[in-house]
Structure 1
Amino acid sequence: MTAEPREGRPSEAERSLEVRWIFPGRLATAVTEWFGRFPIETESREDSYLLEPRLPGLSVKVRGGMALEVKKYHGSPGILEVADCARGRLESWQKWSFPFSPADQYGGCEAGWRPVGKRRRISRFSLAGRQIVARAAMLHQEPQCDVELTEVRTIGQDWWTLGFEASGPADLLPSTLEATARLVFSHPLPGDADPDLDESKSYQRWLSPPQ
């Protein structure tokens, strides 16, 4: 697989604060209805993650066959806790995205790469005054948080994930993510899934657990 030049330039580095939970099995209808309280966008794509060679502190993937995305892990600033509803490990990341034109020979399953099919439901939130609100569109550099509920399929197995990604001014990332999480979890997640520390991990950590 090769990244080939095309029109456009690499993106500027973006900083984000994230938390994600990943659960085995198929996504229950009750959970999609719970998430449907908010306006959503939907998207289906396949991402391919680089698992070998291991690159400590880096996550590398081909996003939907259109971009090479590199993320650098900057550690965990602590634990997100929403009383009686969720506990997750906050993760600080820096991300770059490069234009990518897939070569004809790239089939998404070369040695060292893991294809992951995703059907994503995304809700977007931003700060309005001192309150977090759902928004149809975002302004550049506005404090915001994307929340995604995603059906995942890889190596013949079904999983699903709930993730929060805050972006914007660095000093507002924690408050933006925490306010969004309080709003989303104002109704507890239905069913048997327990968003706790054992399920809290990035895609890269999930796909390539510590040896």
Structure 2
Amino acid sequence: MLTTYELRWFYPGKAPEDIQHWFEQNCLVQPIQSPEAREDLYLYSPKCEFLGIKLRQDQLEIKWRKAELGVMSIGEFIEGKVEKWTKWLCQDPMEESSQLQEILSHPAWVSIKKVRYSQHYQVSSEFSLQPVSSKENIDNGCSVELTHLVISDRDWWSLAFEAFGDDARLLDNLQFTANSIFNTYEGSKLLAVDSYAYPIWLALACR
């Protein structure tokens, strides 16, 4: 089980070039590193915005929204909704429960193709930010993601922060990372009306 504080935005179309360039130059330790490309299957549950269920590479992930924590403002151009989520991973190493073909043919499951640029940061107890590998085990940190999405042949993009660590520090980890990362941001405004998690976005994208 993993508990995170999350800040996320979704927009239709492809990510603007200036935002893509900003992310590659200011958020990634190695700007030319290859993004992660994959296809996830989401269980479409309209009007159920507090629960997300997806199949990722034969691994079932369940996320439950535990709390809505209000709007966080960062400077004059950034505002987003902070939410607390808990995630469980369900693995089947024997692959006895895998029913991929049946899932693919069922209309309740929606395919989403993703190309994701991601960087993990460690947040020290003195609140300094250090980029680290996603494979490195750290106590307190935050991941920053820019993701290109394709659903039903339509393009979307998303910018997200996911803070993890000690429960008492989750909000501080998120706030400090977002403040530091957005210090160099000069793109278009990111508004709270466009800030939500995957369940709400999935309902909007499937209309």
Q: Same fold (TM over 0.5)?
A: yes
* Contact 1:85 1:195 (8 Å CA) reproduced: yes
Q: Measured at CA, do residues 75 and 137 of structure 1 come closer, stay the same or move farther in structure 2, by a change above 3 Å?
A: closer
- Residue 201 of structure 2 aligns to a residue whose secondary structure is helix
Other-structure match for 1:140: 137
Would you say how many aligned residue pairs link Structure 1 and Structure 2?
A: 195
Other-structure match for 2:169: 172
Please tell me whether residue 89 in structure 1 is matched to residue 86 in structure 2: no
Please list, as runs of the form range in 1=range in 2, the aligned pairs for 1:149-168 lying within 5 A after superposition: 149-168=146-165
* Contact 1:69 1:96 (8 Å CA) reproduced: yes
**Where in structure 1 do 4 or more consecutive aligned residues deviate above 4 Å?**
53-56
Runs of at least 5 residues in structure 1 that lack an aligned partner in the other structure? 1-12
* Cα separation, 2, equivalents of 1:188 and 1:146: 17
Equivalent AA in structure 2 for residue 57 of structure 1: F
Please tell me whether residue 206 in structure 1 is matched to residue 206 in structure 2: no
**In the TM superposition, what is the alpha-carbon distance from 1:133 to its structure 2 partner?**
2.3
- Residue 174 of structure 2 aligns to a residue whose secondary structure is helix
Equivalent AA in structure 2 for residue 60 of structure 1: I
Q: Alpha-carbon deviations, 1:102-136, whole Å to 9, x = none?
A: 43524635211111110000011111332122223
Please tell me whether residue 39 in structure 1 is matched to residue 29 in structure 2: yes
* Contact 1:48 1:62 (8 Å CA) reproduced: yes
* Contact 1:52 1:113 (8 Å CA) reproduced: no
**In the TM superposition, what is the alpha-carbon distance from 1:70 to its structure 2 partner?**
0.4
Partner residue of 2:3 out of 7, 15, 18: 15
Q: Measured at CA, do residues 205 and 113 of structure 1 come closer, stay the same or move farther in structure 2, by a change above 3 Å?
A: same
* Contact 2:44 2:203 (8 Å CA) reproduced: yes
Aligned CA-pair RMSD = 2.2
Q: Alpha-carbon deviations, 1:41-75, whole Å to 9, x = none?
A: 62011111111476563111111x32100011112
Q: Measured at CA, do residues 137 and 121 of structure 1 come closer, stay the same or move farther in structure 2, by a change above 3 Å?
A: closer
* Cα separation, 1, equivalents of 2:134 and 2:102: 34
Q: Measured at CA, do residues 111 and 180 of structure 1 come closer, stay the same or move farther in structure 2, by a change above 3 Å?
A: same
Q: Alpha-carbon deviations, 1:146-192, whole Å to 9, x = none?
A: 010000000111000000000111111111111110111102242xx
- Residue 22 of structure 1 aligns to a residue whose secondary structure is strand
Q: Measured at CA, do residues 157 and 137 of structure 1 come closer, stay the same or move farther in structure 2, by a change above 3 Å?
A: closer
- Residue 3 of structure 2 aligns to a residue whose secondary structure is strand
* Cα separation, 1, equivalents of 2:195 and 2:105: 26
Bigger proportion of residues as helix: 2
Equivalent AA in structure 2 for residue 146 of structure 1: S
Runs of at least 5 residues in structure 2 that lack an aligned partner in the other structure? none
* Cα separation, 1, equivalents of 2:62 and 2:76: 35
Query: Normalised by the size of structure 1, how large is the TM-score?
Result: 0.84
Please tell me whether residue 29 in structure 1 is matched to residue 21 in structure 2: no
Other-structure match for 2:117: 121
